[in-house]
Structures are given as C-alpha cells and as structure tokens.
Amino acid sequence: MRLAPFILAHTESILAAWEAFARTILPAARMDALTLRDHAADLLLATVRDMQSVETEAQRWDKANGYGDGTPQSIRLNGASEEHAIGRLGSGFDLKQLISEYRALRASVMSLWRQSLPAADHRDVDDANLFHESIDQSLAKAVISYTRRVDESRDMFLAILSHDLRNPLSAIAMSAEMLPQACRLDGESTSFASQISSSAQIMGGMISDLLDYTRTRLGAGMPVLPA
C-alpha cells in the first residue's frame, strides 16, 4: 500500500501514537484525549490531500524550499497547523515541545508504514518526499504562528505595563514637586526632592518611548508631532 492510502487506512493508529507521545510532555499530563489529539486528524488528512494533489515541478520546488504553492490543499494544511500551534501555546507547550510533536508524528507514520511491509512501488520514494515536504511546511507554519502569538502577547503585556506605570509615576512626580511648597525643607531635603522629580521625568520619557514602541508593534503607528 502506498503511503497516502496507508495514512488514511491507519489514521486511528497514528493518532494513538501521537496521543501517547503527547502524554510524555509535561503540560499534557492533565489533558484529556480529545485535547491531546487536537488538530492531529486535520493535519493528517490535509497532508494526504497535499500529497495527492497534482503539482507542477515549479510548485514542488517551491514546497521543498519552504514556500506554499497557494493551492486550496496547502491553505487547509496551513490553517490546521496554525490553529494547533495556538492551542498548544494556550496549553503551556513551549516551542521545543511543539516541534517534538511533529517529529513524533513523522516518525510514527514512517515506522507504522515500514512495519506494514508494503509491496515495493517505484513511487515510494516520491511519496515519502511528498510526505516530508508537507510535514515540513506544516511545521514551519506552526512555528510562525506560535512565535507570532508569543510576540503579540509580549507586546500587549508591555503596553499594559507601560500604561499602568504612568499613574504611580505621576503620583511620585507630583509629590516631589509639591513637597518643597508644602513643607519647610532644608537644602539637602530640597536636593533630594529635586532628584526624585528629575528621575521621575526620565522614567516618564522611558515609559513614553516604550508606549511608542508597543504602538508600532500593535499596529497603532508611531505618533509624530511636526515642529
């Protein structure tokens, strides 16, 4: 049996191997079977569709070099990969653990296919190449999706942190300005209040710069004041 029909005929065995491996990863210890399998079935079916699609030599070269061929099959494959990566991030998987799942999926499929002792076919090498190219493309999209979501979360955290720091910093700056007026301070105490005020202004500038940075990262743009 050729590789693509084998995957369709033994999907459950492959998914069971995927689930067994996922349970060895720490965040998966408390997850149920449905969550562990996640988008695995969609990934497998999309991989088979991708393998069975008719491609030109140029499209195969693009895929082998990490470029999507733009076909509906490729789009479905990428969508499943991206959703799986975001789901794993939400479950606490790190990037290394996400990649290890794809390595285990690849190894499970090839191992089970070899154990089935398929009749030799002159297209077997091409089938294996197509399978590996599809898995590589899926993995690449998963990694991009995972890192993009991590970056977005970090930028959002920085934006919220910067915004929330403004209130206590404003209170510090205002107190430092009012202190000399409300109390009779000696020269040394006045100097201390002045240093607090200057430091608050410097911190305010740093927070403003950080907010400008997060605006550009989150799509709000860099505020520009012509002068």
How far, in Å, are 59, 110, 113, 214, 227 from residue 50 at the CA level? 12, 17, 18, 39, 56
Burial of 168 (0-12, 13-18, 19+ CB in 10 A): exposed
In this prediction, residue 182 carries a pLDDT of 79
pLDDT by residue (tens digit) across 49-90? 888 886 666 666 665 565 554 454 444 455 889 999 999 999
**What pTM was computed for the model?**
0.74
When mean pLDDT is compared across 9-13, 17-21, 26-30, 154-158, the lowest value belongs to 26-30
Between 73 and 31, name the one with better pLDDT. 31
Count of CB atoms situated within 10 Å of the CB of 114: 9
CA atoms within 13 A on the CB side of 174: 6
Distance CA 48, CA 131 (A): 8
Distance CA 62, CA 80 (A): 20
